[in-house]
């Protein structure tokens, strides 16, 4: 029997990269009673789709059944979590636009931990930035915090690596499906985390990374976290987008100051000027973090 949950995941896997269309379908048919009955012409009319897109959606929906898709995910070690599942992270569930489905790979229990902090920063860190990231990540791990980041080169990848080296937990939020790890230089880290930590994406496994996926992804990095720590960021940086998302979501934002002569610190220094909490020591950070325990 095909359950509502199976239909939801199946539909999302077909057009999950198009959030607007998925929402349209759900609004029209909340229980997904009719989705498999539509002909291409029906899809075109009901959802105002171009003929080519309507045909593509119809073909994709009928190329593989929900049960076959479920089996495929099991074989690949992929566990989808829907917005309706009890295992969906509470913090993320309450942001403005939570992902309809989270595709996960790795140790599922990590997602249940409420003690989560995002550590993000520039793709081209200075030596001081790398040392700062290691210092704060070690302090967080020692105090049982899970490190969340985006697996990007630079501070993000370094934060994941430092969490692993100190026997901590870490979650990487991807801007692509699992079949297309990005960047390629982080492939070995990606493969390790797929087994021994946790990878998360709102995109089905076969979706390639696109430029616009990265800023959209950042809302999940902050959404999964109690707070965000920014370590080195240029004036125009994806890390600043994460900080903005965090503020909109009601999260605390911390920033490590840097030299006024360093372009890599211009963004973080501006964040502090605009009200982000300046941190110089691990005590500065740990004392300000919310007092949360247990699992979601």
Tell whether the model's pLDDT for residue 16 goes beyond 70: no
Q: Are residues 133 and 210 in the same domain?
A: yes
Model pLDDT for residues 32-63, shown as the tens digit of each residue: 998 899 999 988 998 888 999 889 889 989 99
Same domain, yes or no, for 115 and 9? Answer: no
Q: What is the CATH number of the domain that holds 122?
A: 3.40.50.450
Are 70 and 111 in the same domain?
no
Give one word for 204, left, alpha or beta, with left for phi > 0 and alpha for psi -120 to 50: beta
Same structural domain, 60 and 188: no
The pLDDT of residue 233: 93
Q: Is residue 85 part of a domain?
A: no
pTM: 0.95
91 lies in some domain: no
Within-domain flag for 90: no
> Residue 142 sits in which domain range?
106-286
17 with 137, same domain?
no
| Residue-level pLDDT at 17 | 59
Q: Using the 3D structure, point to which of 25, 58, 75 is the last residue of a domain.
A: 75
Number of domains in the chain: 2
Q: Would you say residue 292 lies in a domain?
A: no
- From CA 223, how far away is CA 47, in angstroms rounded? 30
Whether pLDDT at 69 is above 90: yes
Residue 143 lies in a domain: yes
Per-residue model confidence (pLDDT) at position 291: 87
Note whether 70 and 134 are same-domain residues: no
Determine the pLDDT at residue 6. Answer: 95
In a domain, 101, yes or no: no
| Token pair belonging to 20 | 């607007």
Say whether pLDDT at 294 is over 90: no
- In the predicted model, is pLDDT for residue 237 greater than 80? yes
- Which residue carries 């230089």 as its tokens? 185
Check whether residue 251 and residue 135 sit in a common domain: yes
Range with the poorest average pLDDT among 15-19, 105-109, 224-228, 248-252: 15-19
Residue 260 has pLDDT above 80, yes or no: yes
Percent of the chain with pLDDT over 70: 98
Q: Specify if 89 maps to a domain.
A: no
Query: Tens digit of pLDDT for each residue in 134-173?
Result: 999 999 999 999 999 999 999 999 999 999 999 999 999 9
Strands 170-173 and 198-201: parallel
Q: State both tokens at 47.
A: 């959802």
pLDDT at 292: 82
Helix residue ranges per DSSP H, 64-126? 66-75, 90-93
Q: Which pLDDT band, with edges at 50, 70 and 90, does 296 fall under?
A: low
* Arithmetic mean of pLDDT, 91-101: 96
pLDDT of residue 1: 73
Q: Record the tokens describing residue 3, joined without a space.
A: 């359950």
pLDDT given for residue 280 in this prediction = 97
Residues 33 and 150 in one domain: no
Residues 114 and 47 occupy one common structural domain: no
Contacts 24+ apart (CB under 8 A), 277-285: 277/252, 277/253, 278/254, 279/136, 279/229, 279/254, 279/255, 280/256, 282/135, 282/136, 282/139, 284/254, 285/136, 285/139, 285/140, 285/229, 285/254
The strands making up 146-149's β-sheet, listed across from edge to edge, are: 78-82, 101-106, 198-201, 170-173, 146-149, 116-121, 227-231, 252-256, 277-278
- 163 and 255 in a single domain? The answer is yes
pLDDT value at residue 57: 86
- The mean predicted confidence, pLDDT, of the chain is 94
- For residues 153 and 248, membership in a common domain is answered with yes
Over range 206-221, report the average pLDDT: 94
- Whether residues 62 and 186 share a domain: the answer is no
Q: Decide if 93 is inside a domain.
A: no
């Amino acid at each position: 029997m095909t359950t509502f949950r199976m239909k939801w995941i199946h539909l999302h896997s077909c057009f999950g990269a198009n959030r607007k269309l998925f929402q349209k379908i759900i609004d029209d048919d909340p229980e997904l009673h009719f989705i498999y009955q539509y002909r291409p012409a029906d899809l075109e009319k009901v959802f105002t789709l171009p003929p080519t897109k309507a045909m593509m959606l119809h073909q994709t929906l009928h190329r593989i059944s929900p049960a076959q898709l479920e089996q495929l995910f099991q074989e690949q070690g992929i566990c989808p979590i829907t917005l309706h599942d009890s295992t969906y992270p509470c913090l993320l569930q309450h942001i403005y636009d939570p992902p309809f489905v989270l595709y996960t790979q790795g140790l599922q229990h990590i997602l249940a931990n409420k003690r989560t902090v995002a550590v993000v920063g520039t793709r081209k860190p200075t030596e001081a930035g790398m040392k700062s990231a290691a210092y704060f990540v070690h302090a967080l791990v020692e105090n049982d915090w899970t490190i969340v980041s985006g697996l990007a080169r630079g501070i993000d990848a370094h934060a994941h690596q430092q969490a692993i080296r100190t026997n901590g937990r870490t979650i990487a939020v991807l801007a692509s499906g699992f079949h297309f790890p990005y960047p390629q230089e982080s492939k070995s880290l990606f493969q390790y985390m797929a087994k021994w930590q946790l990878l998360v994406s709102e995109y089905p496994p076969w979706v390639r990374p696109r430029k616009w996926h990265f800023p959209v992804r950042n809302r999940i990095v902050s959404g999964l976290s109690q707070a965000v720590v920014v370590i080195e960021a240029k004036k125009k940086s994806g890390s600043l987008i994460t900080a903005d998302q965090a503020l909109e979501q009601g999260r605390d934002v911390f920033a490590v100051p840097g030299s006024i002569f360093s372009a890599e610190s211009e963004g973080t220094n501006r964040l502090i000027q605009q009200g982000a909490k300046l941190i110089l020591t691990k005590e500065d950070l740990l004392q300000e973090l919310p007092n949360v325990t247990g699992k979601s």
